[in-house]
Amino acid sequence: MALFDFHQTYLNILSQTSQKRQLHKCTGSSFSSNDYLGLANSPEILSAAQQAIDETIPIGSGGSRLLSGNHPQHEALETEAAIFFKAQSTLYFANGYAANMAVLSTLPQKGDVIFYDNLIHASSHDGMRLARCKAQLFIHNDVQDLKAKITAWRAKNPDGNIWIIFETYYSMDGDIAPIDALSDLASDYDAIMVIDEAHAFGVFGPDGRGLAAHLDGCDNAIILRTCGKALGCEGALLCLPSIARDFLINRARQFIFSTAPSPLIAYTVRIALRIIQTQPERRKALIELCDYAGKILSPLGAITHGGPIIPIIIGDAKHTMDIASALQNSGFDVRGIRPPTVAEGSSRLRICISLNIDKTDIDALALMLRKLL
């Protein structure tokens, strides 16, 4: 048996089922970026990065936060973010994937239980695989299904913490969770919520603080905000009770054994936080553009919930990727999403609206979609 025979066979199967992935350059009108507010390449962020360099803020941290890598920029970011989000404390991670894994593999303990929405991100699934307790899914956005499962579990398990995992704004469907109903249920059962605001932060809520902003500071809420989407930077901020922060610093392997994020990037995140507070016109312009896109694309089968993520369900994986390829060849950076990222039979075009495009780009995309669909 030759080296990597298994891997080659697996890749061949992926090719035959139109599931083999490849890296593609981003060209043409951007309809795949999560840079919702157009900050990633903005003069303000570029200027902030240059200022950081001029002030000799280092690019590399030189070690983990617990060794040599804890920089004043990390601490300044966490202090400012806690004030901005009205949180007890915050903890900065290199990315949202590591943050989600750290929370779910570290905080729930033996005898606890995790209930998770069946459309949560892969990082949460990977965190739960390392968790010390069992996990059960509940039907997407179905509070009654969750309540029934919590009630049944608690009847047999009088002790142990209940953890509820959900996103506020889902990255593939663009729909919004019943946040208040889930929060009320968590209060009724003394449950702890782990809330992923990755795609809502910067877009929705007061000062762009997200759809769950009113839950910041609660003893039973841990809220993730990524910095690589609407903020246009990199990393992730966990907003959480101080005791949970201290426990993660002491026990989360993803934090302890990882080189600390770049101090220079931490500085640019601080600037980005200030921008979303002082430039509400960016969010206003984005929502107006999302509303326009919804009106133009809905007749073509697009599903819209008033936010920047607008899917068009095609169904077949090969057909989806063929359409995506045709769009890319025509100057539209639209990506196809297929299993295992989404369920079988629900392959889709995932259209993302950001301030990197305008109404003219949306009109042109609609015209091309009419031809292809």
The CATH number covering residue 309 comes to 3.90.1150.10
Which one of 232, 255, 277 terminates a domain? 277
Q: Residues with Cβ < 8 Å from 164, sequence gap 6 or more?
A: 115, 116, 146, 182, 185, 186, 191, 192, 193, 194
Are residues 62 and 97 located together in one domain of the fold?
A: yes
Conformational region of residue 160, where left means phi above 0, alpha means psi within -120 to 50, and beta covers everything else? left
Are residues 251 and 301 located together in one domain of the fold?
A: no
Number of neighbouring beta carbons within 10 Å of residue 363: 12
Number of neighbouring beta carbons within 10 Å of residue 284: 10
In a domain, 9, yes or no: no
| Mean per-residue pLDDT of the chain | 96
Residue 112, pLDDT above cutoff 80? yes
In a domain, 316, yes or no: yes
Phi, psi values for residue 171, rounded to 5°: -75, -20
Are residues 179 and 208 located together in one domain of the fold?
A: yes
The catalytic site residues sit at 34, 121, 167, 171, 196, 199, 229
Q: What is the CATH number of the domain that holds 184?
A: 3.40.640.10
Are residues 63 and 87 located together in one domain of the fold?
A: yes
Helix axes 242-251, 96-106, angle to 10 degrees: 90
Q: From residue 180, how far is each of 99, 185, 202, 238 by CA, in Å? A: 24, 9, 20, 20
Cross-strand bridge partners of residue 196? 167, 224
Which one of 256, 277, 298 terminates a domain? 277
Number of neighbouring beta carbons within 10 Å of residue 318: 15
Q: Averaged over 339-357, what is the pLDDT?
A: 95
Range of the domain at 270: 57-277
Least confident of 1-5, 246-250, 304-308, 356-360: 1-5
Are residues 297 and 159 located together in one domain of the fold?
A: no
| Residue 249 binned pLDDT confidence (cut-offs 50, 70, 90) | very high
pTM for this predicted structure: 0.95
Residue 149, pLDDT above cutoff 80? yes
Angle at 46 between CA 44 and CA 52, to 5 degrees: 100
Residue 1, pLDDT above cutoff 80? no
In a domain, 244, yes or no: yes
Query: Is the backbone peptide bond immediately before 241 cis, with ω within 30 degrees of 0?
Result: no
Are residues 121 and 230 located together in one domain of the fold?
A: yes
Residue 28, pLDDT above cutoff 90? no
In a domain, 235, yes or no: yes
Alpha helices in 18-142 (DSSP H): 43-54, 72-85, 96-106, 122-129
Residue 24, pLDDT above cutoff 90? no
Are residues 215 and 264 located together in one domain of the fold?
A: yes
In a domain, 122, yes or no: yes
| Residue 118 binned pLDDT confidence (cut-offs 50, 70, 90) | very high
How many domains are contained in the chain? 2
Are residues 271 and 315 located together in one domain of the fold?
A: no
Are residues 249 and 296 located together in one domain of the fold?
A: no
Which one of 247, 277, 307 terminates a domain? 277
**Residue with the two structure tokens 């769950």:** 212
Are residues 250 and 323 located together in one domain of the fold?
A: no
| Residue 355 binned pLDDT confidence (cut-offs 50, 70, 90) | very high
User: Rounded CA gap, 170 and 87, in Å?
Assistant: 23
Q: Which tokens sit at 206?
A: 């007061």
